Structures are given as structure tokens and as C-alpha cells.
Amino acid sequence: MVRIQADALRRIIAEIFHRAGCNETEAGTVAKRLVDANLVGHDSHGVVRIPTYLEMVRGGGVALNQHAKIVVDTAVLVVVDGQCGFGQVIGEEAMAIGIDKAKRSGVGVVALRHSSHLGRIGDWTEQCAEAGFVSIHFVNVVGAGAIVAPFGGTDARISTNPFSAGLPRPDGKHVILDMATSKLAEGKVKVALNKGVELPEGALIDNKGRPTRRPSDLYTTPRGALTPMGEHKGYGIAVFCEFLAGILSGGGTNRHERRDERVLNNMLSIILNPSPTGDKSYVHEEADAFIKWLLDSPAADPGKPVMLPGDPERLNRAERLRDGVPLDDITWGNIVSAGASLGMDPAGMKKQARAG
């Protein structure tokens, strides 16, 4: 295990993507979002993705230096095509469009289609909250993204289909829910594989439909499958992610006929004025009172007080900004190898990482 300061890690990652063909702005955006995912503890959506992203670039699964393209524009609804661009860029641009709609009309609905991997969906919820808006996000995957079995099934038919929602707070401690509808995000399986640890019971089945704890069983041919979070409940939310994100955006659902080697995300985002009646004081006071009610619940474990969605991420960010981003040896080795394949000096990368 190594620890690398966030700024140093961002510079290394930005250089990797710049050498891969991204312009400086795009390379910096991708690097920022990947490292931020690690900072908040979502290692599954962080720098562990770099080898996969570079494979997608080399295979044409990502179109470099693309921007969000508006294809339908109404007073409150906009349909945006991501043109297979990097999701870290496309997601940010699509949310800016939706936030502008919400500022004008009180509500902005963004149906985003054909973005490459959008990364940590909580990024987009946080972007809306920072602008002062409530938001709800439904995501599906088309292409190579089927890795979750339907409830009661034995093979992969859907993706991890994330759901996210956020409530802004004046003190900046926004309430942010960001979750996969599977028991684990796929990236967490990759992290476990790199660390050489087993998965929790009940999170994965092998290609025979049998429970397994081996991360490698997700990557066999034929592959195993993750299981839905909350059994039929998580499965039900995942189905509606397909309907809302896939169908309403025009990007499609994760059917067998659409399987290819690309990983494309569709996302339906609903962005709302949190004070539709104009009474901001009521919204803040009521939210604060309810939050206090929740947090005052006696903790089952005195060392683990009740928290809100978003609190663990804030704590992780503070710790990792102070102590550095922890990376297992395989993940760090993969980053160094990726840079070396693009002409970067491995010794220089390691020196830069140590210097912080």
C-alpha cells in the first residue's frame, strides 16, 4: 500500500490522459474527477479505472475531446447527447445545462444519452447542490455493462444502475445519497481483486449461478454476476433506471442486441428549486430540525454515531487530503505501467508521487 498526495496524483493522471490524446482541459477534468472519487472513499470509481479507460481510448470506445450536444431543448427539458465523450466532461457540462434550466424555470430535466462512463454519480449531485438545487439521478449502462443478475436470475442482464439524490444545505454539508442498485459496484470488485481479498457473502454468483466470494468469478468467460442490493427492492429500482435513463433519453436499455465492447451511460437528472414557494427559511429550518432528530438517535455502537448520506465522504476527504490517497500496490503499479506505455518515466512518476 502506498499513499500519494492528491495534487501529485492529479498531475500524474492528467499527464497520462494528455499523452493519450486528451487536450489539457479534458485531461485535467478526467484526472480531477478520478482522484476526487478516491478522496471521498469511492475507490471503485477512481484511479483504478485508468487501465480500462485507456483500453477504451485505444479501442475507440471513447471519443476524445468531445462535448455535450443539445438535441432537444424545451423550457424545462433538454435531451443531451454525450457523443461517446469522457463522462467526467460530459456529465459536468450536462449538469451545467440543467442547472441553468432550473435557475430560469424552477426545474430542469436533463435526459443524457451516449456518454462514456460517467464516473461517480455523486459528483453530479454535488454539482447541483453546490448551485443550490435538489437533484435526483437515474443511470443505466448499454454496451458491455451487463454484470448484475435480475432478482431470482442466474446470469447478468442489467448493470449496477446507480441512483443518486441530493439536498443542498447552507453550511455546505449537503446531504448526498450515491449508491449502486447492486450489492457492490463493479469497481469495488476490481479493487478487491487487486487487493487479493474476498467479497462479502451474497454479493456475487459465479457463471453457474452459485454464490461465490472470489472477485475473479466476475471476470471469467462466461462471467459471473453481481446480485441486486436489497434483493427485489434494489432490482426494482434498477429496472426503473433502465426505463427512465435508457428509454426517456433515447439511449436505449441494456438488451442483448446492444452488447458491444463500449461502456456507455445514459442518465435522467431532475434538478429542482428546493424552495418552490419562495420560503427558503422553512426549507432550511425543517431540514435542520429533521437532521438533528436523526443524528440524536443513540448509536448502537458508541464509536460509530449516526451519520447522514454524504458524511462518510466528507470524513474520507478530510483524512485523505491530510494523509494522502491510499492505493494498493497493484493499482499504483498499473498507473505507473500506463504512464510508461505513453512515454512517461516510471522513476520520475514515483519520485513525483513521493514528493507530493
What totals of helices (H) and strands (E) does the chain contain, helices first?
12, 12
Query: Please, is 214 exposed, middle or buried when counting C-beta atoms within 10 Å of its C-beta (0-12, 13-18, 19+)?
Result: middle
Which residues, including other chains, have CB under 8 Å from residue 188's CB and lie 6 or more apart? 43, 44
Residue 277 has a pLDDT of: 77
> What string of pLDDT tens digits covers the 356 residues of the chain?
899 999 999 999 999 999 999 999 999 999 999 999 999 999 999 999 999 999 999 999 999 999 999 999 999 999 999 999 999 999 999 999 999 999 999 999 999 999 999 999 999 999 999 999 999 999 999 987 689 999 999 999 999 999 999 999 999 999 999 999 999 988 899 889 999 999 999 999 999 999 999 999 999 988 999 999 999 999 999 999 999 999 999 999 998 766 676 889 999 999 999 988 778 889 999 999 999 999 999 999 999 999 999 999 999 999 999 999 999 999 999 999 999 999 999 999 999 999 87
| pTM, to two decimals | 0.94
On whether the CB atoms of residues 132 and 138 are closer than 8 A, the answer is no
Going 282 to 283 to 285 to 286, the CA torsion angle's sign is: positive
* Structural domains in the chain plus CATH codes: 1-61+322-356 (1.10.1530.10), 74-180+231-277 (3.30.1370.60), 183-227 (3.30.60.50)
